Structure 1
Amino acid sequence: MIKQFLAVSGLVVALTACSNQPTAVNAEQLFETLSGQWSVTDIAGEPVASYSKPRITFEQDGQLSGNNSCNRFSGRYEYQQTQLTLQSLGSTRKACVDGLVKQERMFMDSLPKVSQYQFAKTKLYLLDAQGQVLFELNKSQ
């Protein structure tokens, strides 16, 4: 009986560890995990151009900065439990290659809509208030 219990428990742990389901983390884990540079792989379900991937850097002091494919941007972020708010967003306004104009616009239009986050393994998902994924990101090395 104990062997069966241990076998079932081990199986549950193994299956849970292999899950790709996004999960929320506590504030301390978020602070440690979120800090650093992230590469955007998808914006609103659309893959970004491989030759000019946007990047977002979350600083430990609440500052936010990065590149939206064409221009630099900055602002602030705040988090509480599963909520993430991006504020005071500003951007430079340099000319952009035609192929990246749409991507830059989608990026900047989506940033202020972020209100939640989820982690799944090495990915970070930034979501809107309805739980729709706005950004999929990978931690940069």
Structure 2
Amino acid sequence: MIKKITLAASLAWLAAGCQSTAQMGDATMELLGSWHIEQVYDRPVIDYSPAKLVFEADGKLTGNNSCNNFFGSFTQDGANLSLTPSGATRKACVDALMDQEARVVDAMPKVKAAKEQQGKLLFLDADGNTIMILSRL
């Protein structure tokens, strides 16, 4: 009887481990593509803002900080995520967009993890705080 319970528990544990790995792999695939930035820190982005991130399969990261286009790279290992912006255009925009862009630029290097919640992509800092919320374009 004990052997059957131990075997059943072991199989359940193994199945849960396999399921977790599949979810991590699915998370990687779900990240790829274009995402509209909806919120940075505790402030929503300006209506009709062009702020977006584009994740490509080769690890390239491009997008728009709110006013300027940028490029860089990203790495993902399961839920762990690192964004590395490398360069950007240098256009001037209205003050509200420039302020929003400064928040986006400040937040991107602080991203340490990502999770999907209710169809949104949440970026988390090292303490687990949500610092950006995105939706698929």
RMSD across aligned C-alpha pairs, in angstroms?
Answer: 1.6
Structure with the higher fraction of residues in helix conformation: 2
User: Is residue 2:43 matched to residue 1:50?
Assistant: no
Return the TM-score normalized by structure 1.
0.77
Q: How many residues align?
A: 117
Return the TM-score normalized by structure 2.
0.80
1:52 and 1:69 in contact (8 A); partners too = yes
SS at match of 2:121: strand
Relative contact order higher in (CA < 8 Å, ≥ 6 apart): 1
Q: Which runs of 5+ in 1 are unaligned?
A: 1-24
Moved over 2 A (4+): none
Give, in whole Å, the separation in 1 of the partners of 2:114 and 2:96. 29
User: Is residue 2:121 matched to residue 1:137?
Assistant: no
2:70 and 2:85 in contact (8 A); partners too = no
Give the 5 Å matches for 1:24-35: 26-35=23-32
Percent of aligned pairs with the same residue? 38
Give, in whole Å, the separation in 1 of the partners of 2:23 and 2:93. 39
User: What is the deviation of 1:88?
Assistant: 4.4
Give, in whole Å, the separation in 1 of the partners of 2:76 and 2:133. 18
